[in-house]
Structure 1
Amino acid sequence: MRSPEAESPVNPLPPVIVALFVIVVGIEAAFSLGAAGIVGGPQAVGWRLAAVQKYAFSAEVFDWMIQTRQWPAEHLIRFVTYPFVHGSLTHAIFAGVMLLALGKIVAEVLGPVRTLVVFVLSAIGGALAYGVFVDTRAPLLGAFPPIYGLIGVFTYILWLRLGQMGAHQARAFSLIGMLLGIQLVFGLMSTLMGGMTPSFDWVADIGGFVTGFALGIVLIPGGWARIVSRLRNRG
């Protein structure tokens, strides 16, 4: 038995989430410091643009790969590298905060390996949704699609718990509904007020969410059995 004095007052973050956060923040710190001329010399000003061109996901490149049936590694890697390249410091900070919050909840349920699987596969799912459903030259970048994958797992966890409590399970989807609503409103305001081209990143976010929710059914112990049992009871 551990004494109360030995208990940490702060519940530590899972190492896998800390590692992902450090990568996101570390890369963004290098870009921001380079742009400010603090590190890297004059060429550092172009680090972010070079990373976007090389590591962001491109719907155009994805279409080219499908049409030519060529799958070079330098382009396939974009499916898993784009979450670590952000458009600005603010973009990266918001992503990092959400990664810590959602990642902690999911990792405590799934464990580190399965949480990393959710992150990677949700990034791929988000990129596929963007490549299939969006016709744009704008690259996809930032960690939000895999973060929405974590939200998908969290939603499934909440859906299960509400079912066990006998509560209305549709409430589990209130978080994703609120987040997408806020994102769409801010995107519309930015377009109308700033004359910016509409962003379709929300398509990738939905793709990440759906992937994460589906993975939750498979990866959470007993999750698939609960779904099958519910379907049989309805039948």
Structure 2
Amino acid sequence: MSFSSDERAVNPIPPLILALFVVAMGVEVMFQLGTRGIIGGPSAVGWRQAALTDYGFQGQYARFMVETGQLRPEFLLRFVSYPFVHLSFTQALIAGVMLLALGKFVGEIMHPFAVFVLYVLSTIGGALAMWALAGDSEWLFGGFPPVYGLIGGFTYLLWVRLGAVGASQVQAFRLIAVLAGLQFLFGVLFGFAPDWPADLGGFVFGFALSPLLVPGGLSALVTRLRKRG
């Protein structure tokens, strides 16, 4: 998609996406300071592990609620809390940078609140996919599933834009194809990450939900993209 510099200047990162980035990185900074003994005392060394256990997602919590019919708040929280706890500073930083970049791109078309809704629903979709494809025992941490949801939104917007100008819409999937290829390469070299179903789920949810989050629906989106072309 091509946008003028003036359009980019008046389309900053959606505030709620920026707030999500600040919260996630704030949690990570706290872990780093605690590990180094700067805050929290000796017990702070275990903050990360405790947070991963308390706020990470695992399929067993979803299965418990389905089988018992009990919607327990502490289990429901895990569907949206896992993106804020990471295994390492590197994971948090990469996910955070991608969040800002994709939030900015998608926010150039969608309303800022719609971008936030896309993030939240992709987060939940990633957890559901993790449960469906990885079972009950695998843990899910980190902010990549909702980032993949934003990639799904970006892919959808680009897909519509290419269709509006008569170009090949297959090109819209270039970004996700590159990322999938890199994940496959790293998987072959270093072992496949068990949380890949969540990334896939986040992307699918993001792509599928995007038409519902554009003001006026698909027809309005096509008209708007044609004007920007």
Within 5 A, what are the aligned runs for 1:188-203?
188-191=188-191, 198-203=192-197
| Corresponding residue of 1:32 | 32
Aligned to 1:43: 43
Query: Counterparts in 2 of 1:1-235, with a 5 A limit?
Result: 12-135=12-135, 137-191=137-191, 198-225=192-219
> 1 CA distance for matches of 2:32 and 2:46?
11
**Residue 10 to residue 45, structure 1, CA distance change in 2 (3 Å):** farther
- State the AA in 2 paired with 1:147: V
Given that 1:14 and 1:108 are in contact with CA atoms closer than 8 Å, whether structure 2 keeps it comes out as no
Cα deviation, residue 25, structure 1: 0.7
Counterpart Cα distance in 2 of 1:80 and 1:146 = 10
Two-structure CA RMSD over aligned residues (Å): 2.1
| Cα deviation, residue 27, structure 1 | 0.6
Q: Which structure would you say has the larger RCO, counting Cα contacts within 8 Å and 6 or more residues apart? A: 2
User: Which letter does structure 2 place at the counterpart of 1:224?
Assistant: L
Task: Give, as a single letter, the amino acid of the residue that structure 1 aligns with 2:87.
Answer: G
Q: Matched residue of 2:70: which SS?
A: coil
Shift of residue 224 of structure 1?
3.5
Does the CA contact (< 8 Å) of 2:125 and 2:202 recur in 1? yes
CA change 1:73–1:30 in 2 (3 A) is: same
2:161 and 2:44 map into 1 onto residues whose CA distance is 49
2:48 and 2:187 mapped to 1: Cα distance? 23
> Which has the larger Rg?
1
- From the superposition, tell whether residues 100 and 44 of structure 1 become closer, same or farther in structure 2 (CA, over 3 Å): same
Q: Which runs of 4+ in 1 moved over 6 A?
A: 8-11
Give the stretch that moved more between structures: 91-100 or 16-25. Answer: 16-25
Between 1:8-17 and 1:92-101, the stretch displaced more is 8-17
SS at match of 1:110: coil
- The 1:10–1:219 alpha-carbon spacing in structure 2 relative to 1, beyond 3 Å, is closer
Query: Compared with structure 1, are the counterparts of its residues 161 and 11 closer, same or farther at alpha carbon in structure 2 (3 Å cutoff)?
Result: closer
Q: Which residue of 1 aligns with 2:225?
A: none
How many residue pairs get aligned? The number is 214
Shift of the 212–44 alpha-carbon distance from structure 1 to 2, 3 Å rule, reads same
TM-score, normalising length: structure 1: 0.85
State the distance in 2 between where 1:63 and 1:10 align.
Answer: 45
Structure 1 residues 108 and 226: alpha-carbon distance in aligned structure 2, compared to 1, 3 A threshold = closer
**AA aligned opposite 1:101:** A
SS in 1 for 2:39: coil
Scaled by the length of structure 2, the TM-score of the pair is 0.87
Matches of 2:115 and 2:12 in 1, distance apart? 16
Kindly indicate whether the alpha-carbon contact (under 8 Å) linking 1:82 and 1:143 is maintained by their aligned counterparts in 2: yes
- Structure 2 CA distance for aligned equivalents of residues 17 and 122 of structure 1: 13
Tell me, which stretches of 5 or more residues in structure 1 are unaligned? 1-7, 192-197, 228-235
| 1:170 to 1:223, Cα distance in 2 relative to 1, 3 A | farther
Task: Determine the structure 1 residue equivalent to 2:227.
Answer: none
Distance 2:101 2:71 in 1: 35
Residue 65 of structure 1: CA displacement?
2.5
